[in-house]
Amino acid sequence: MRKPGYKSTVNYHALTHEILVLSNQGIPRIDFHREILKILIKYSGCDFVELWFRENKKYSHCRVTQQTEDSFEYNVIPATEKEDGIVVPNLQENSIMDRLRVDVIRRRFDPSLPIFTTNGTFWVGNTEEPIDLILGSNKKRDQYNNSINGSSKSLALFPLVIGDDSIGILQLTSSHYNYFTEDDIHLYEGFVETLGISLVNQSTQAALRERVKELTCLYNIAQVAEQKNRSVKEILHLIVNLIPPAWQYPNITSGRIILDGQNYTTPGYQENKQKQTSDIVVNGYRRGVVEVIYREMQPELDEGPFLEEERNLINTIAKQVALIVEQKEAEEDRLKLREQLRHADRLATIGQLAAGVAHELNEPLGNILGFAQLSMKLPEIPERLSRDLTKIVDASLLAREVIKKLMLFSRQIPPKIGTVNLNQVVNDGLSFFESRCAKAGIELIRLLSHDISEITGDQVQLNQVLVNLVVNSIQAMPDGGKLTIQTLCSNNYVSFIVEDTGVGISKDIINKIFIPFFTTKDVNEGTGLGLAVVHGIVTSHKGSIKVESRINYGTRFEIRFPVK
């Protein structure tokens, strides 16, 4: 009686051709192994077909059964190199079947025994009978006294050998006694030669395809990085969409890049347990992560469901992203520095001009003011003339204040350096504004640090800083509000903060507020020198200014000075 599913020699050649064609279709290795076993179990009529195949230093193990249609199982088994140099899977060699499998892979057989062929294939028609083996070069006798598998009666283990390299085994199992004939075994041995070549060919092609996808992905990322007109956000949006095609299962792959808390994801992104990650490290600091997620569960491979090549790729992508961020930030810093240099050059030019104008106007203005004040002291001057002289004096005093600010801005007035307490500066300065704030409906709040350190500076100039900032805040709250003056102290610096709830400053204006003569006020309401003077004084005291503002919410100036 012939076994069910038995095929003729003609169909055997068709099977061999089918396997070779399948190995060149470019499908993932798990799918390739699944298709091979489906074809084999259909062709052989066996109850079980199993395959062990070595890739790198691991073994892929897959198995199908005749009972159920979708019975494919796949797992990766670690491997060990034996003393004879052959790499074998880490199986439980105290198990009879596992010992047999390892022996066949290691080519440990006695061809004089009827259960072995000269090619090293092990086959029996009744696994219930004890098996007497002579293994190894020392002809050591080894006896398998127990049954190999209670449900399997016929067993065949075919070594997969390429040249002198043992790369795995094919196992066929049947519940029928004497299921295999000697002719069957010879046919399968011929097929196994083709199978070994096909497995190696498919594995090599798969590795090549992965390498091509990896290089294509990295090339496209390099092309995106070269687009200098794009922002980091635009570049990361483009890069994250280049990720899925580079992975083994692009149709179920999602990508995500997280940088500084900002997410960039592929369409249809969703979380899953199976994911691969790599940190984005910029200038030694972890700034984010690159993630690849499989939306559907996949069998375990080298690293979870991911290939070893994909680990190398995601690490490279993370490094490329970090390099792009470094380059973009360095370019932004360079542009900021260039703008700062231009700004400093403009300030220097304006300072020289201001100093010259101040000197030229100071002397004639002093004469005008002096003569006007003397004329006002003359007896019996007409009332109309007295009013005109008063206007001249007032205008001259205003002009003198402007000149004083010009000279202060251009640092023509030498500072009087001494020890200064910022709390005292605040208290002295605010005493002139209390009644004005009350009339304007402005609540004046003082939050002064008790143990504030003293600094070295010019108290008059620091008072000018406070006055200018407070005046600006009052003018920013025409309908009333809150004006908070706060002092703070740390180990390295002391600071005072002027914060209002006024109209705020727009983003396009906030970068211009320290430019001399820049003002948003009417012609008769300001000279545009107030904040320029503040900037000059703070800079001369080796301090810094931080400005924060929101339209209709208010503005916050924080002035920091190094401690004494």
The more confidently predicted of residues 269 and 291 is 291
Residue 3 lies in a domain: no
- Residue 300 pLDDT: 74
Residue in 390, 459, 393 with CA at minimum distance from that of residue 421: 459
- Are residues 23 and 107 part of one domain? yes
What percent of the chain stands above pLDDT 70?
Answer: 85
Q: Is residue 294 located within the same domain as residue 248?
A: yes
**Are residues 190 and 101 part of one domain?**
yes
DSSP 55: E
Asked whether the beta carbons of 480 and 442 are under 8 A apart, the reply is yes
Residue 100 is assigned to a structural domain of this protein? yes
- Do 98 and 46 have their domain in common? yes
- 424: in domain: yes
- Whether the CB-CB separation of 256 and 266 falls below 8 Å is answered with yes
Question: Considering the domain boundaries, does residue 441 fall inside one?
Answer: yes
Looking only at the bridges linking them, the beta strands covering 493-500 and 544-550 are unpaired
Question: Residue 358: what pLDDT?
Answer: 64
The answer to the question of residue 328 being in a domain is no
Select, from the ranges 27-31, 202-206, 543-547, 560-564, the one with the highest average predicted confidence (pLDDT). Answer: 543-547
Rounded Cα gap, residues 350 and 303, in angstroms: 65
**Same domain (yes/no): 57, 196:** yes
Q: What is the mean pLDDT of residues 133-138?
A: 49
Instruction: Return d(Cα 475, Cα 479) in angstroms, integer.
Output: 10
Domain boundary, last residue among 166, 188, 205: 205
Evaluate whether residue 4 is within a structural domain: no
434 and 501, same domain (yes or no): yes
pLDDT at 318 (0 to 100): 94
pLDDT higher than 70, residue 4: no
| Residue 412, pLDDT above cutoff 80 | no
Query: At residue 507, what is the residue type?
Result: K
**pLDDT of 15 above 70:** yes
* pLDDT number for residue 140: 47
* Tens digit of each residue's pLDDT (9 = 90 or more) over 428-446: 888 878 888 888 999 999 9
CATH number at residue 260: 3.30.450.40
From residue 419, how far is each of 259, 402, 455, 558 by CA, in Å?
46, 28, 6, 21
Same domain for 194 and 50, yes or no, is: yes
Identify the pLDDT of residue 494: 92
DSSP designation for 131: E
Q: Are residues 538 and 473 both part of a single domain?
A: yes
Least confident residue range of 129-143, 234-248, 280-294, 318-332: 129-143
CA distance 502 to 523: 21
pLDDT at 12 over 80: no
Calculate mean pLDDT across residues 402-420. Answer: 67
Considering 205, 227, 255, which residue would you say is the last residue of a domain?
Answer: 205
Q: Which residue has the higher pLDDT, 133 or 272?
A: 272
Claim to verify: residue 529 and residue 388 sit in the same structural domain: no
| Structural domain total, the chain | 4
Look at residue 527 in the predicted model and tell me its pLDDT. Answer: 55
How far apart, in whole angstroms, are the C-alpha atoms of residue 274 and residue 460?
Answer: 67
Higher-pLDDT residue of 526, 62: 62
For 458-493, letters b (16+ CB in 10 Å) and e give: bbebbbbbbbbbbebbbbbbeeebbbbbbbbbeeeb
Q: DSSP states of 397-446 as a string?
A: HHHHHHHHHHHHHTT-S----EEE-HHHHHHHHHTTTHHHHHHTTEEEEE
CB 315 within 8 A of CB 277: no
- Same domain (yes/no): 23, 163: yes
Do residues 175 and 132 share a domain? yes
Assess whether pLDDT exceeds 50 at residue 385.
yes
**Rounded to an integer, what distance in angstroms lies between the CA atom of residue 381 and that of residue 379?**
6
CATH label of the domain that carries residue 470: 3.30.565.10
Do 81 and 170 lie in one domain? The reply is yes
Domain range for 546 is 418-562
Residue 244: inside a domain, yes or no? Answer: yes
The whole-angstrom separation of Cα 302 and Cα 174 is 32
**Domain contains 227:** yes
We report the CATH number of the domain holding residue 362 as: 1.10.287.130
Output the pLDDT for position 145: 44
Three-state SS at 368: helix
Of 380, 409, 438, the domain-final residue: 409
